[in-house]
Amino acid sequence: MTTPVLEVRGASKHFSRRPTLAERILVAAGRAEPPPVVRAVEGVDLAIMRGEVLGLVGESGCGKSTLARLVSGIHAPTSGDVRFEGRPVAGLKGRERLDYLLAVQMIFQDPFASLDPRMRVHRIVGEALAVHKLVPPGDLDKAVDQALADVGLDTAYRDRFPHQFSGGQRQRIGIARALAVKPRVMVCDEPVAALDVSIQAQVVNLFMDLRERHALTYLFVSHNLGLVRLICDRVAIMYLGRIVESGPVAELFEKAAHPYTQALLEAIPRIHGRKREFEPVKGELPSPIAPPSGCAFHPRCPHANARCREERPLLREIASGRHAACHLLTPA
């Protein structure tokens, strides 16, 4: 069996505020509770195979961005493993660690916040190349121009500042910066969510062109299910820190297994739909500080029973290549 390019095994990421001195004393004395822990990602297993586009879908606060940051090495997991080409990244040192960090590049949602406003485009795109001495100094300009051309930006723009560009062009600069270091995996966190519809299509098409040109693997984080359906090979659905369903895009969209996935697909307005009666999913996304007992979706689920309230369902194979975490699908 082939080794996944990137893999997380039982990975969790918890965030907590550092207690103040007074709080630490009170906690030690048993007079106060420690600060609350946000369980952003909880026990996630996920493998990204070479050359595939894996979609990661969920609503805000479900932990999808945190998971993206775990696989790209921006956050270290609280527990569990991230593996790059079969090797745990926690054990990588020196050259090997750098190789991993450069091979996995991230594209961010906000093209206004992710570029340094005081840097000219050629420095933004060439900075990593120069710092890590990836090209001889004499070839730096050429490498930058190559990356700009790759994303369809006029190389005459190399001396401009980010504020002189539109949102779509800025996103292209961010992509050029990632491409410059010749990555193998692109982790894209809502890369088109901040762009206008007509510009979104341009950037999505660029991603797909680059995939072919550079044999890239993508983790594509998005809440836009239409987009995920169009460009992804496989998709994983997250709810409150855990993956609740995963499988090939065509099959999952054809027949969603998990009640949450079904609700999500049902809630998306469709352009070919006409004046319809909306039937909303009840309730709110619960807090990752105090997740519900049992299945985290049970307070909103129309099919929940006593078992769902008590016992947390595990992610199990429900058909070849398809996984879901729901008691209704895997009877005791």
Partner 1 sequence: MSEPILVVRGLRTVFHLANGAWAAVDGVDLEVDRGEVLGLVGESGSGKTVTGFSITGLVDPPGEVLAGEVRFAGEDLRAASPERMRQLRGDRIAMIFQDPLMTLNPVLTIGEQMAEAVLEHGTASAQAALAMAEEALGRVGISSARERLAQYPHEFSGGMRQRVAIATALLNKPDLIIADEPTTALDVTIQGQILFEMQKLARETGAAVIWITHDLAVVAELADHIAVMYAGRIVEGGTVAEVLDDPRHPYTRGLLDSVPDVGVRGTRLAQIDGMAPRLDARPAGCAFAPRCSRASDTCRTADPPESTEGHRRFRCHHPLVMEVVR
Q: Toward partner 1, which CB reaches closer, 50 or 87?
A: 50
Q: Is 202 near partner 1 (CB under 8 A)? A: yes
The stretch near partner 1 (CB under 8 A) out of 8-16, 120-128, 139-147, 279-287 is 279-287
Please report, for the chain, how many H helices and E strands are present, in that order: 11, 12
Distance in Å, CB of 181 to partner 1, minimum: 26
Residue 295: closest CA among 284, 277, 308: 308
Go through the chain and tell me how many residues it has: 332
The two three-digit tokens of residue 129, written as one number = 């190349």
- Name the residue with tokens 């692109």: 186
Q: Toward partner 1, which CB reaches closer, 43 or 241?
A: 241
Distance in Å, CB of 144 to partner 1, minimum: 23
Residue 188: closest CA among 160, 224, 162, 153: 224
Please work out the total of residues on this chain that contact partner 1, with binding judged by CB under 8 A.
Answer: 45
Which one of 273, 290, 331, 332 is in contact with partner 1 (CB under 8 A)? Answer: 273
Q: Toward partner 1, which CB reaches closer, 8 or 232?
A: 232
Q: Is 37 near partner 1 (CB under 8 A)? A: no
Q: Is 110 near partner 1 (CB under 8 A)? A: no
How far apart (Å, rounded) are the C-alpha atoms in residues 137 and 167? Answer: 30
Dmax (CA) for the chain in angstroms is 68
The two three-digit tokens of residue 330, written as one number = 């895997």
Distance in Å, CB of 239 to partner 1, minimum: 11
**Beta 37-48 vs 185-189: how paired, if at all?**
unpaired
Which one of 117, 137, 269, 302 is in contact with partner 1 (CB under 8 A)? Answer: 269
The stretch near partner 1 (CB under 8 A) out of 71-79, 123-131, 226-234, 320-328 is 226-234
Site string for partner 1, 128-167 (x = CB under 8 A): --------------------------------------x-
Tell me which DSSP letter residue 229 carries. Answer: H
Segment 162 to 201, residues that bind partner 1, using CB under 8 A = 166, 168, 196-201
Distance in Å, CB of 241 to partner 1, minimum: 16
Residue 312: closest CA among 264, 260, 263, 242: 242
How far apart (Å, rounded) are the C-alpha atoms in residues 105 and 34? Answer: 36
- Name the residue with tokens 């420095």: 123
Which one of 280, 302, 306, 320 is in contact with partner 1 (CB under 8 A)? Answer: 280
Segment 247 to 266, residues that bind partner 1, using CB under 8 A = 249-250, 263-264, 266
How many beta carbons lie within 10 A of that of residue 108, not counting itself?
A: 19
- The enclosing H or E element of 235 equals strand 234-239
Q: Which residues are near partner 1 by CB under 8 A?
A: 59-60, 166, 168, 196-202, 204-205, 208, 223-227, 229-231, 249-250, 263-264, 266-282, 284-285
